[in-house]
Amino acid sequence: MKKILVTGTEGEVGSALLAQLAGRFDATGFDIKPGSTIQGDLTNYADIAAAAEGMDAIVHMAALLCSPEQDRSLDLNVKATANVLQAAVDKGVKRVVYCSTVWASGQGYTEPYLPIDEDVPCEPVCMYGQTKWLGELMAGWYARMHGLETVIIRFCGYHHVKGYTAHGTIDWEQADVPGLFKRYLGGGHKLMNPADLGLAFGQAIEKPGIAGHRFIVGVSTPYVASDAAGLKSIPAVLINRYYPGIPALLEELGIEIPPIPFFFSHEKARTQLGFRSRHDLGDIARLYRQWQDTR
Ligand SMILES: NC(=O)c1ccc[n+]([C@@H]2O[C@H](COP(=O)([O-])OP(=O)(O)OC[C@H]3O[C@@H](n4cnc5c(N)ncnc54)[C@H](O)[C@@H]3O)[C@@H](O)[C@H]2O)c1
């Protein structure tokens, strides 16, 4: 079994991810907060170098999200990312999976075309996005100069929504039904199924032939470039085209369909990483109706 180190495992995403990876890998968590298997500070090279010893791969999740503390963002998202990459080189770790963010390219504010893909020019609009973009560049530099295998997940995010179980199924009796539908409608396309986290990052750790690549990972959507104007102005019409009957179901449930101002391409993640979110809007409606029928 591959030995992997996951940083930031006391955080929102890292804690859910570690639980998912635990069955598939010999996984160890690292965080500055107490509670993780290894407690250490990534801004201190010695701490991460010691933890990297004997690892096959590192998944680097720890980061400072949108924060007014510019110095701390630079220290953690850039300098500590370099520490992780340097430790991987020094300790012979084969692969580093770097968790970046869609804020690195501009999160819909600055991208010159839709769907946003992995090749879009990056013009971040906040220091968080800027520092994560610098982290991506750092990963690229270590790959070029040291032959380190790096895989970048440009992540739409993860937000737990009540109803999803650790196995990736939905307990409808407990579920936040409007919450589930709203997330699948858009809203940044964040994942909410913990099993999706395990699949995406598990593939990034293990899949051969993907070193040096970047993948946008989020909830799968079917939209193409020519849908952009319609998704902003008449989203219900577009949604009905791809998922017949869903706007009517949403109306029944009292859920408003918001404009969808930007969306992502999931093609590269699907074809090269082997990741597609287990559910999309159509699946969630089908599963909801099945549950209704059995009541
Ligand atoms: N939350 C989202 O929806 C979202 C969206 C896109 C990308 N991401 C990316 O996912 C990753 C995880 O995000 P999150 O929401 O879980 O963040 P979080 O703030 O919940 O967790 C970050 C973790 O990093 C740890 N940490 C901070 N400084 C550290 C240090 N010096 N040494 C060791 N550990 C330290 C913190 O203690 C915390 O447990 C980040 O890389 C972030 O950029 C998250």
Determine the residue of 61, 64, 183 to mutate for testing ligand 1's pocket, defined as the one with the most ligand atoms within 8 A of the Cβ atom: 61
Residue 23: exposed, middle, or buried by beta-carbon count in 10 A (0-12, 13-18, 19+)?
A: exposed
- Distance separating alpha carbons of residues 69 and 80, to the nearest angstrom: 15
Query: DSSP 3-state assignment of 96?
Result: strand
Task: Tell how far the Cα of 209 is from the centroid of ligand 1, in angstroms.
Answer: 27
Residue 225: exposed, middle, or buried by beta-carbon count in 10 A (0-12, 13-18, 19+)?
A: exposed
CB atoms inside a 10 Å sphere around CB 224:
11
Q: Determine the residue type at 36.
A: S
Is the bond into 124 cis (omega within 30 degrees of 0)?
A: no
User: Are 187 and 256 within 8 A, CB to CB?
Assistant: no
**pLDDT tens digits along 228-280:** 999 999 999 999 999 999 999 999 999 999 999 999 999 999 999 999 999 99
Determine the residue of 17, 21, 32, 48 to mutate for testing ligand 1's pocket, defined as the one with the most ligand atoms within 8 A of the Cβ atom: 32
Predicted local confidence at residue 230, as pLDDT: 96
Is the pLDDT reported for residue 170 higher than 70? Answer: yes
Is 3-171+187-222+262-278 a domain of CATH 3.30.420.40? no
Task: Tell how far the Cα of 237 is from the centroid of ligand 1, in angstroms.
Answer: 37
Predicted local confidence at residue 121, as pLDDT: 96
Residue partners of 244: CB distance under 8 A and separation at least 6? none
- Distance separating alpha carbons of residues 162 and 177, to the nearest angstrom: 8
Bridge-based pairing state of the strands 57-60 and 3-7 = parallel
Residue of minimum CA distance from atom 13 in ligand 1: 13
**pLDDT tens digits along 17-69:** 999 999 899 999 999 999 888 999 999 999 999 999 999 999 999 999 987 77
Ligand 1 lined by 157 (C-beta under 6 Å): yes
Residue of minimum CA distance from atom 11 in ligand 1: 61
What ligand 1 atom has the least distance to the C-alpha of 190?
Answer: 3
Pick from 63, 29, 13, 8: nearest CA to 192: 13
Is the pLDDT reported for residue 226 higher than 70? Answer: yes
**pLDDT tens digits along 77-104:** 999 999 999 999 999 999 999 999 999 9
Residue written as tokens 């193409």?
224
User: Are 275 and 199 within 8 A, CB to CB?
Assistant: yes
- Distance separating alpha carbons of residues 157 and 263, to the nearest angstrom: 14
Q: What percent of the chain has pLDDT over 90?
A: 93
Average pLDDT over residues 178-194: 89
- Token reading at 60: 């680097």
Predicted local confidence at residue 67, as pLDDT: 76
Q: Determine the residue type at 150.
A: T
